Structure formats: C-alpha cells, structure tokens
C-alpha cells in the first residue's frame, strides 16, 4: 500500500525555526509537494521537490532524499500567520497526488 | 495566474435535495480536475478525477451515482451531490491541473462548505 507519515501536531515559538518531517512509501515517485492550509481554506502551494537536495524559498525550505523516502519542510523566523496545517503529498507512478494527513503547526508568542 | 474558483462557497440544504457545486479554472485550461472532501481536522480525501470530455474516475468507496461529476469543458467541472444526507456535510474542494506550474501541481479552489440539515 501507499503510505505517507507526518507528525499530527507541532508547537513552536514565534521567531524560532521548525522542521516538519514527512516519510513516504509509494508506488513510484514523480515528485513531492508541500502545501499550506489555513483552517477553513483550500491548500496553497509551497514547494515541489523531484531531485535530492534542499530548495530554498524565502523563509521556507524543503529537502528531499529519495533513497530514504524522506522530506522535510523548514520554516524560519516563524510568524503567527504561519499557524496552519502543512500537507505533504507525493506524486505516484500514476501521476496522482497521495496526501499525508497533514501536520498542524501551532505558533505561540 | 492559475486561479481556480468554486461556487457556492457555502450552502445549506435540506436532506433529500440535490446540490451542485461548480469549479472553474479562470486563466488556464484544466485538462484534469479533482474533487476532494475534507472532514474537520482530517486531511484531503480524493473523491474523483475527471478529464475533460470523459467520464470521471471515482475512488474506491465513493458512490458515483450519488456524486455526479461532469467535466464539460477545459475550464468547468461540476459536482452534484444527489439526495444529500446529513453525513454528506463536509468541506468540498476542487483542484485543477493544466500546463502551468510544477509538474502535476494542482491549483485549488477556495472550497465549498456543505451543510445538510
């Protein structure tokens, strides 16, 4: 079967750094997405990794290791508005997105 | 660019009635559209995938006669929840995939909150 694991919930302090991990076991791999979803809203695109390594985009960075079936999303200089759920999704061999359950990130002042 | 709209944003209907939700790609052609359902504090659950001009492919456990999907053009897909019941109350989100953005990237609509009384 296909499986994507992320922590259910994480808490961090405003201004700090947090790393959200995602491990996956899927039938094939054609890339990995990170999306942000605020409560009651639709997901918005954060990053896409298809090759190993780190992709940096402002305060957010995403890392991929295909051999380990592992990715992480790194958020720096946390702001209160970063409180949201972060969804990891893998593109499988059928080019469908397989979604993780999401990680709820709580930012405290 | 790559904007997807959904209408209505929220709807309340009585049990036994049908509800239609529209999903439109406003500035690109969506070769594939997806319909998701999301219950509170849960992740997205893919209901069906539709390609323009062909029948939708439903995920296991999703009743195709209850959730009718039509993808009549490259910019419009509709989901009709027929004979709705309270357990159908949920947040329904559509997404579209075209030639923009990262490979296989999906652009999401704002979602429709359905409440069946």
> How does A5-16 read in b/e, with b if 16+ C-beta sit within 10 Å?
ebeeebebeeee
Residue A12: is its pLDDT beyond 70?
yes
Which stretches of chain A are DSSP H helices?
none
Q: Mean of the per-residue pLDDT values for chain A?
A: 94
Instruction: Please give the C-alpha separations between residue B6 and each of A39, B51, B90, in angstroms, as whole numbers.
Output: 17, 18, 15
From CA A21, how far away is CA A10, in angstroms rounded?
Answer: 11
Q: Mean of the per-residue pLDDT values for chain B?
A: 91
Which residues of chain A have a CB within 8 Å of the CB of B109? 42
Residue A31: is its pLDDT beyond 80?
yes
| Cβ <8 Å between B104 and A101 | no
| Cβ <8 Å between A101 and B106 | no
Residue B113: is its pLDDT beyond 70?
yes
Q: What is the mean pLDDT of residues B42-66?
A: 89
Interface probe with B: pick from A97, A104, A105, most Cβ of B within 10 Å: A97
From CA B10, how far away is CA B30, in angstroms rounded?
Answer: 23
Instruction: Please give the C-alpha separations between residue B41 and each of A8, B36, B72, in angstroms, as whole numbers.
Output: 10, 14, 33
Output the pLDDT for position A41: 87
End-to-end CA distance of chain A: 40
Nearest by CB to residue A97, choosing from B41, B104, B110, is B104
Q: What is the pLDDT of residues B10-30, one digit of tens each?
A: 999 999 999 999 999 998 888
Output the pLDDT for position B1: 64
| Neighbour count for residue B63 (Cβ, 10 Å) | 10
Output the pLDDT for position B99: 76
What sign for the dihedral angle of Cα A52, A53, A58, A60?
positive
The residue behind tokens 């849960």 is B42
Interface probe with A: pick from B102, B114, B115, most Cβ of A within 10 Å: B102
Which residues of chain A have a CB within 8 Å of the CB of B111? 40-42
Residue A34: is its pLDDT beyond 90?
yes
Count of CB contacts below 8 A, A vs B?
Answer: 49
Confidence of residue B57 (pLDDT cuts 50, 70, 90): very high
- Cα dihedral: A83, A102, B39, B27 (round 10): 80
């Amino acid at each position: 079967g296909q499986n994507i694991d992320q922590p259910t919930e994480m808490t961090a302090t405003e201004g700090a750094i947090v790393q959200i991990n995602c491990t996956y076991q899927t039938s094939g791999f054609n890339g990995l997405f990170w999306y942000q979803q605020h409560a009651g809203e639709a997901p918005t695109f954060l990053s896409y990794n298809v090759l190993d390594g780190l992709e940096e985009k402002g305060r957010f960075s995403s890392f991929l290791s295909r051999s380990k079936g592992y990715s992480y999303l790194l958020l720096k200089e946390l702001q209160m508005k970063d409180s949201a759920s972060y969804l990891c999704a893998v593109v499988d061999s059928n080019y469908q997105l397989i979604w993780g359950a999401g990680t709820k990130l709580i930012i405290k002042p | 660019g790559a904007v997807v709209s959904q209408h209505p944003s929220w709807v309340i209907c009585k049990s036994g009635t049908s509800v239609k939700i529209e999903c439109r790609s406003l500035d690109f052609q969506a070769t594939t559209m997806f319909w998701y359902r999301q219950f509170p504090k849960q992740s997205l659950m893919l209901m069906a995938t539709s390609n323009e001009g062909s029948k939708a492919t439903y995920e296991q456990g999703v009743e195709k006669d209850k959730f009718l999907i039509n993808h009549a053009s490259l910019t419009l897909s509709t989901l009709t929840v027929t004979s709705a019941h309270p357990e159908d109350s949920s947040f329904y989100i559509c997404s579209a995939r075209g030639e923009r953005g990262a490979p296989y990237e999906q652009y999401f609509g704002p979602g429709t909150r359905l409440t069946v009384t």
